Structure 1
Amino acid sequence: MRREVDAIGEPIRGLRDIDLGEAEVVREIFRRYAAGQSPRAIVSDLNRRGIPGPRGGSWNASTINGNAERGNGVIHNELYRGVLVFGRQTWVKDRRTGKRQARTADPEEIIRTEVPHLRIISEKLWAKVQHRYAENTLSSRGPSPRVAVRPRHLLNGKLTCGVCGGPMIRSGADQRFMCSWRRERGKSACMNGRGIKSAEIEARVLAAIKNRLLAPERVALAVEEARLAAENDARRITQARSKLDSELAEVKRRAERLVDQIADGVLRGAAVKDRLDALEARRSQIESELAQAPAASVVALHPRVAEHYRTVVGSLERTLARSDSEAATEARDMVRKLIGTVVVTSLEERGKFGLTVHGKIAALVNQDGEKTTKLGAGVGFEPTTFRL
């Protein structure tokens, strides 16, 4: 992007120049992809050579593959073939979460402009890459990404590599958990090339949740903390409502006095009308705030909730093999709510791993918070420490 200003000092938008160094990296990616190399192999080599990604960090396989529909990813960027695209997607703010969401634009609204001076990829190479991408997509097409799928396994999306901090995913025929950053970015991104059997890690995590996270004394403490927090919230809400009620009553009194004075001829003129309008505006604002104010609530939790969850965990241990059963699915969803993240760290002894389980005990009482359980690698997978 080239930065220039016009005669009156305003920036001239849309000026672009080719960065020769970055252009050569793009050409290399296209050539290697067209020759049959996988995005993972390409980014692994780029990361090994220390070539920065588009945003200055490491390369991911998704940086190359991207999304064809949205034009994301190196191999879908039409600017490289000399076409500037505007309006491919729009951003809409979700009122509930406050986050922006991308929406694909109507094809008729997309604007394409020929910019041949910015072309760095030949049309022949572009077509070859698109053809190979289409073939790969057809051969590996699975369920639509738009369909929400409940996790089939207890720890999917919950594991973190203790070496690089990247997520861990299932890989291979024996379903071991491996560091995805090492898999997607190459050995230079993470030195952790070891995997851990899913059955082993699930057993250890379930034992930690049942025996430590759901220990009666821990749950009792969490419930008491939640009760006190709820009482404080209720007190704060009540005080806030009381303050608004008092102000509303005062605004009404002042407005009534002002109306009486106008009726008696004591006050008149535009300034008086402005004062009355201001009081009415404030009255409307207070009434709106009162209508939207949350109601005070008190946490109520069954005293045997820990025993109930331990029973659920115990049944899940027995039904994990029948992962498609409805009972196992419901139990798995319930237990997953108690698990925040699990950090997996390789130990010196071959085949041994240390785990740090961050459990959301607050899920029992629908409050924010976190408890942490640490597990050692000894026989029986007994926890060595337990930190609150």
Structure 2
Amino acid sequence: MTKVLRAVIYARFSTDMQRDASIADQIRSCREHAARQGIDVVEVYSDKAASGASLMRSGIQKLLHDAQEKTFDIVLSEALDRLSRNQADIASIYQKLQFRNVMIETISEGTISEMHIGLKGTMNSMFLKDLALKTHRGLKGRALQGKSAGGKAYGYHNVLRYDAAGEPIRGERKVDPAESDVVRRIFADYATGLSPKKIAEALNSEGVPGPSGRGWGASTLHGNRERGTGILNNELYIGRQIWNRLSYVKDPETGKRVSRLNPQEEWVVTDVPELRIIDQELWDAARSRQGAMRVKDTSIPIWDRRRPMTLFSGLMTCGTCGGGFSKISQTSFGCSTARNKGKAVCGNMATIAQAELERLVLDALQTQLMDQKALAVFCEEYARERNRLQSQACAARASLEKELATAKRDHAKLIDAIIAGVPAEQVKDRMLTLDARRIELEGLLARTATPSPVRIHPRMAETYRAKVVTMIDKLKHPDGMLEAKEALRGLIDRIVLQPTAPDGRLAIHLEGALAALLMLGLGGARQRGLSGESQAVEDIEELVLVAGVGFEPTTFRL
């Protein structure tokens, strides 16, 4: 009997000339093609409004993932460029599917081979470059006319008009009265000495929507002067439109767009006096306060220009809003959200000295995250949970053994039927199915051994404390400081800083990384003593999920 081929369909649209119905049209054409060829369609994948220049598409990624399961034999598509227009990507897709014995067939090109990949891949890549050039040319023409060439600036709204033929006139915009008042206020406040953080805080406290519809942040205002981003750097507010300041290219490894500053001679500058919001005197005052743009000293390597990471950088969390805690001065930490977006978003304005925070947390790591009472509770809870898991494993094993016995018994009955005169052709398929299932069940049983009893080493707490003390001592010596810092950070999940009433000081909730604590207490990644056999890292990691009772966060009141 001839095997019926299983196919999946892939459809995609991306350009303005296409619409949602294009997906349905492609799928219908592929189904009709499959029916003519006698092929079963088992799944459909699609990507809407997704560029073919990148593989960062959910539909194509799911298709490639499912191909690993070998649930289909053919990928059907309207044309090869639906899968990808990128020459390297289409070659990669072809190689991955070929490796799994999956063919590609399109309505336009038929069965795809290496020749199609080379020729069509090159043509599609050339199409993308040509499309980019035409799009850029069209946008440049729009920018020279003083119209919007993409994007929407705060303070303006788009105007939709039609020409005599009923075609939309694109790029028209007008000053938005409400938003333009906010822009003038921002410039006036900044020129009189208010910082972007204070301005953002005031706007948030009054409930003024930001450009994205959410709260204001300091970076929304100051942006990047060199790149012309941010409210305070947008020259459109003085009736001067600058287009093509930045260009965007896709990183071939991540598929993400990366912006690059174009040479100034490539900028397209157009006067649009009707769009002016800020008068020249206020603009000059704001620019004067910004001061001359600082030139970066490129002679200093970037790793030497970064702010040094403190012992617990990135691990601190505000207990009020969930935002990060960062340095607000040379010696203190505070909530970043409260300072960037104001008290209307987060009212936690309490601070803590870096030295005090590190002293308290290091003391907790030494004395409280592995005390005997907590360890006793953990051992009890862990043993109870492992016994429950062991009971489940035993029940599952018994079910597999029962099914295996049934498969063997049914197989034996079929052999008896053949001996009794039943033609072998009538029972052949059933015998093969039972034999395949028998092999599968025997493999499952071999991999599901009954868990061994659990025993916690009695000196685990002592080993842990000794190692933590050693790591803390290494912080004082340059040779071992970096290694010790990373090891200590690995023992912590997070540090939650919660203001307490009525004094407003901070309580520190220190949450230990259970798997790291236990591995350190056991003396390494593998250590005898947690069970009768050598304990693997995977079992240690399981503890994070099944046992946390004995290691509740340690709390300090400051």
Q: Normalising by structure 1, what TM-score?
A: 0.61
Contact 2:241 2:271 in 1 (8 A): yes
Q: Residue 377 of structure 1 aligns with which residue?
A: 555
Q: Residue 185 of structure 2 aligns with which residue?
A: 28
Name the CA distance, whole Å, in 2 between partners of 1:102 and 1:307. 53
Contact 2:239 2:273 in 1 (8 A): yes
**Whose radius of gyration is greater, 1 or 2?**
2
Name the CA distance, whole Å, in 1 between partners of 2:247 and 2:464. 44
Counterpart of 1:101, as a letter, is: V
Q: Residue 104 of structure 1 aligns with which residue?
A: 261
Equivalent residue in structure 2 for 1:357, among 511, 518, 523: 511
Q: Equivalent residue of 1:166, what SS?
A: coil
Q: Equivalent residue of 2:211, what SS?
A: coil
Equivalent residue in structure 1 for 2:302, among 147, 150, 157: 147
Question: Does residue 125 of the first structure (1) align with residue 282 of the second (2)?
Answer: yes
Structure 1: give runs of 5+ residues left out of the alignment. Answer: 222-305, 382-388
The change in CA–CA distance for 1:145 and 1:169 in structure 2 (over 3 A counts) is farther
Q: Residue 95 of structure 1 aligns with which residue?
A: 252
| Further displaced range: 37-46 or 357-366 | 357-366
The change in CA–CA distance for 1:102 and 1:54 in structure 2 (over 3 A counts) is same
Contact 2:508 2:556 in 1 (8 A): no
Q: Equivalent residue of 1:50, what SS?
A: coil
Q: Residue 14 of structure 1 aligns with which residue?
A: 171
1:256-267 matched pairs, under 5 angstroms: none
1:268-307 matched pairs, under 5 angstroms: none
1:28 deviates by 1.2
Q: Residue 201 of structure 1 aligns with which residue?
A: 357
Name the CA distance, whole Å, in 2 between partners of 1:316 and 1:67. 41
Name the CA distance, whole Å, in 2 between partners of 1:147 and 1:75. 27
1:58 deviates by 1.4
Q: Equivalent residue of 1:17, what SS?
A: strand
The change in CA–CA distance for 1:356 and 1:34 in structure 2 (over 3 A counts) is same
The change in CA–CA distance for 1:10 and 1:180 in structure 2 (over 3 A counts) is same
1:119 deviates by 0.6
Contact 1:47 1:58 in 2 (8 A): yes
Question: Does residue 187 of the first structure (1) align with residue 365 of the second (2)?
Answer: no
The change in CA–CA distance for 1:374 and 1:134 in structure 2 (over 3 A counts) is farther
Counterpart of 1:193, as a letter, is: M
The change in CA–CA distance for 1:3 and 1:340 in structure 2 (over 3 A counts) is farther
Q: Residue 331 of structure 1 aligns with which residue?
A: 484
Question: Does residue 318 of the first structure (1) align with residue 496 of the second (2)?
Answer: no
Question: Does residue 164 of the first structure (1) align with residue 321 of the second (2)?
Answer: yes
Q: Normalising by structure 2, what TM-score?
A: 0.44
Name the CA distance, whole Å, in 1 between partners of 2:280 and 2:286. 10
Q: Residue 388 of structure 2 aligns with which residue?
A: none
Equivalent residue in structure 2 for 1:61, among 204, 207, 218: 218
Structure 2: give runs of 5+ residues left out of the alignment. Answer: 1-157, 383-460, 520-524, 526-536
1:18 deviates by 0.3
1:151 deviates by 3.7
Contact 2:369 2:554 in 1 (8 A): no
The change in CA–CA distance for 1:70 and 1:352 in structure 2 (over 3 A counts) is closer
The change in CA–CA distance for 1:347 and 1:318 in structure 2 (over 3 A counts) is farther
Counterpart of 1:147, as a letter, is: I
1:146 deviates by 8.3
Counterpart of 1:318, as a letter, is: D
Counterpart of 1:332, as a letter, is: K
1:50 deviates by 1.6
Q: Equivalent residue of 2:498, what SS?
A: strand
Question: Does residue 114 of the first structure (1) align with residue 292 of the second (2)?
Answer: no
| Further displaced range: 100-109 or 57-66 | 100-109
Contact 1:43 1:186 in 2 (8 A): yes
Name the CA distance, whole Å, in 1 between partners of 2:342 and 2:492. 29
| Count of residues in Structure 1 that have an aligned counterpart in Structure 2 | 293
Contact 1:34 1:125 in 2 (8 A): yes
The change in CA–CA distance for 1:6 and 1:361 in structure 2 (over 3 A counts) is farther
The change in CA–CA distance for 1:157 and 1:104 in structure 2 (over 3 A counts) is farther
Question: Does residue 347 of the first structure (1) align with residue 504 of the second (2)?
Answer: no
Counterpart of 1:189, as a letter, is: V
Counterpart of 2:498, as a letter, is: T
1:162 deviates by 1.2
